[in-house]
Amino acid sequence: MALNCNISALDSETVTGHSLGGAIASLAAHYLVGGGLVNSKDLKLITLGQPRTGDKEFAKNHTATIDYSFRVTHWRDVVPHIPSFDERPGGYYHHKTEVFYKEGMAPNDYIVCKGNQTYPEYEDFKCSDGLWVHTSIKNHIKYFGKVIRDWGIAGCL
């Protein structure tokens, strides 16, 4: 099966990951920029099915530190809802910016989630947070019509 991935086309400053790898990619990007190893304008962070990685303070700091940051979510993927959202101090919270794809992940069938006054860019109940009751592991293992494991085996992630 050809996956047609071209990782050499990515900038050397592109950081990506799926699931727990997305959380690690988020932390790595934050470390690279925060430590002065990479300029924020030269770094791109794109994660797939990333769980909540930190609390609200981390989310705010991440937003202030990483200019180009997108968390891609797939319809009813369960993992972006783990750990549970908790707005209390120290509770888990997403950083910016969710790109929410509906079930089929058609190229133009997505929403760049804007949040609201209370949860700007972080937690948007019009996107995947609005579906947390009906989640599925099926939507976690398959993104853009490909099983993520196959992408990894082919060296695409």
Domain locations in the chain as residue ranges: 13-153
Catalytic residue among 30, 74, 94, 140: 140
Q: Does residue 75 register a pLDDT over 50?
A: yes
Half-sphere exposure of 53 (CA within 13 A, CB side): 28
User: Is 95 a residue of the active site?
Assistant: no
Of the pLDDT bands very low, low, confident and very high (cuts 50, 70, 90), residue 119 is confident
In this prediction, residue 1 carries a pLDDT of: 41
Q: Does residue 47 register a pLDDT over 90?
A: yes
CB 44 within 8 A of CB 68: yes
Q: What CATH code would you report for 13-153?
A: 3.40.50.1820
| pTM score of the predicted model | 0.88
User: Is 30 a residue of the active site?
Assistant: no
Q: Does residue 77 register a pLDDT over 50?
A: yes
Catalytic residue among 26, 74, 77, 129: 77
Q: What is the mean pLDDT of residues 76-88?
A: 91
Mean pLDDT over the full length of the chain: 87
In this prediction, residue 88 carries a pLDDT of: 85
Pairing between β-strand 98-101 and β-strand 68-74 as defined by DSSP bridges:
parallel
Give me 114's structure tokens.
């804007």
In this prediction, residue 7 carries a pLDDT of: 52
CB 15 within 8 A of CB 29: yes
In this prediction, residue 12 carries a pLDDT of: 64
Catalytic residue among 18, 19, 74, 128: 19
| Whole-angstrom distance, CA of residue 50 vs CA of residue 22 | 5
User: Is 84 a residue of the active site?
Assistant: no
Where do we find the tokens 């047609």? Answer: 4
